[in-house]
Structure 1
Amino acid sequence: MRIDVVTIFPEYLAPLDLSLIGKAREDGLLTVTAHDLRDFTHDRHRTVDDTPYGGGAGMVMKPQPWAEALDHVVAQGDGSGGRRPRLVVPGPGGAPFTQSLARELAEEPWLAFACGRYEGIDERVYEYARDDLGLEVSVVSLGDYVLNGGEVAVLAMVEAIARLLPGVIGNAESLVEESHEDGLLEYPIYTKPKVWNGRSVPDVLLSGNHSAIAAWRHEQRLARTASRRPDLLHPAQVTTDGDLEVDLRPAVPADVPELFTLTKACWVQEAVANDRLDIPPLHESIEELRASLDETRTWVARSGGRLVGSVRTSVRGDDLFISRLMVAPDLQGLGLGRRLLALAEEAASSGTRSFSLLAGALSADNLRMYRKAGYRPVPGEPPAPGAVELVKRRRG
């Protein structure tokens, strides 16, 4: 990845030479170049700001130095197949910088950051970047507070983005269960000694029971998120079906092994009920399942830390195709399947006009649930042997 930063304080970026980010630069995984905005001024005082039109306190950064600086940055890509950077401008009036946005930006081959100062940058600079240079411009806020300039925000953003690049973090698996990766905060962590200053490590972590440890960690994540960041918990993510308390949320790569096992368990039942083994979920490899998380929207349901259900959706024109709706065999009949189906429908985009799905022709319980939910058989030959295609028109 290539990163260019325009600032009046290039020395502010010196920390990016340190630690893992510095090593990534040494290894050629990341290129960071700082450009001094004052190099693009034309007066002996190297002036980059002036008083605001309309009055008011403070100063505003002038458009001319910024236009020339951005021209210079874009010109660096002339030999790169016409590529242009995505321009990120830190500012308190921007969209929140989140882990999902960090992942999105980490997919970009080239980023440029514009560090504003004073009261900000003349608005025409944003228009020039978009209209004249053809750049995608993103104004991003590090938080609901005001800094003296954009440099501190750039340091934070570059570190959050760069650590997601392949090869920057030695053990990529350490990225999976971090805070915010799936909307929850990370669970408490401990190391040796077992007892320190009269305080002991929780017994469950010493038990060697990996299932119990996973359940404890998930419960701790939910409790910590509810206590510290309740805003992260959407009302649809925690529901109670009878006596079963369930946490519903988007699937992440860490869910794949459990999801793979649950899929086999659920569709073996379907194979028995329909007296056939040529059912696609039974033959989906773990690699295919992992890839499906990038190609579809998949939700998982957990109860007590255990993965007990899931549903997957994909868009087909104005139709939302619902698939892989499953509930652990020992929890079927408690209403979780209906809740997962409703979640899939509720999350559909405004352009969705219908919902469709396939069910086994002999899966009586499933067909009964779909009929109650408003799904009706589609006349004609089914798209898969032994299956029934069902459709439901969206209301409103």
Structure 2
Amino acid sequence: MHKLIAAVAASFAVAASCGAAQAQISDNVVKLGVLTDMSSLYADATGKGSLAAVEMAVADYGGKVAGVPIQIVSADHQNKPDVGVNIARNWYDNEKVDAVMDVPTSSVALPISALTREKNKININSGGGSSDITGVACSPNTVHWTYDTYALSNVAGKAMVKRGEDTWFFVTADYAFGMALERDAANVVKESGGKVLGDVRHPLNSSDFSSFLLQAQASKAKVVALANAGGDTTNALKQAAEFGITQGGQKMIALLMEITDVHSLGIKATQGLIITDAFYWDTNDETRAFSKRFNDKVGHMPTMIQAGLYSATMHYLKAIEAIKTDEAPKVMEQMRKTPINDFFAKNGKIRIDGRMVHDMNLYEVKKPEESKGEWDLYKLVTTVPGDEAFRPLDKGGCPLVK
């Protein structure tokens, strides 16, 4: 009888503790919002592939966390800050979204980060690039997961100046990301002993780069640096080939270029390009296994943004599982104190400014005769440890850094 009573009491205690744990999950559901570019110049690098990466992570996690279901909503912010903020505000206020994911386009990412702090939710940014996200505009509610303008510039700029490519001209997208990318790259060039001979700004989503490229050509700079991304980068590279810029002895560098861009342009047109990237599908067995599954689902190999989103989603869900709550400050604390070890990052860490620090890689696009298949596009030049690739914690101007 005593054993029976003890067993019943124990079962009630377990049930009560489970109920208490579930009660700490708001609305008895964990809801993720994938806010991305579904229809414009960043759609290949983010878009449906970003949504697919989050869906894969949720499915692999089992569809539930801490005993409650995981739901996903998605939307196209159209690269417009007002559209993106209105969507996120509605998600937070009316649809009870707990975390907004991805958010390419820095002019959208920055106000989304600010709104997330106001609503005390979580923003995990994979697609936006401005280093200001973890600098002067840092937030205790935002994690910047995959890359930023500082790391892109630091890894490629130092390497190129070191090998004698020490005069630069920038062709820059005229919005937050492009200007941050040019700023960070110019600083690296100057600090490494090089010179910036000039720059020109172009509107976002441009189709005609002729006047901008002619100015770059006339500058006689050894390096023509594209401080843009997505369709702007591919359009600029196509037209640069028509103007014979590389044939004239100048080196082209795309400071942000995704594997989907290289694939779209073709290896013949992009051979020799220097690219900084956080992820390449053919790195090891883990990256190949994930990338094959992603390719089967989406139809192309994952970009670093998409691979980063899978990694970030899993880390977020594991944090909730560990502490049995989706309360933003507690989840952020758990995420910061837990190292990231998966196919995307080894010994990654989230700093107080929100920067997820991990190794970055410098690649060169292979020559056609070196490639053994459709997606066999990169050869590794060097791997830069995270603490060297990303901006030092005390140099970004983040108010959270004591």
TM-score normalised to structure 2 length = 0.24
The structure where strand makes up a greater share of residues is: 1
TM-score normalised to structure 1 length = 0.24
RCO higher in 1 or 2 (8 Å CA, sep ≥ 6)? 2
Larger Rg: 1
The structure where helix makes up a greater share of residues is: 2
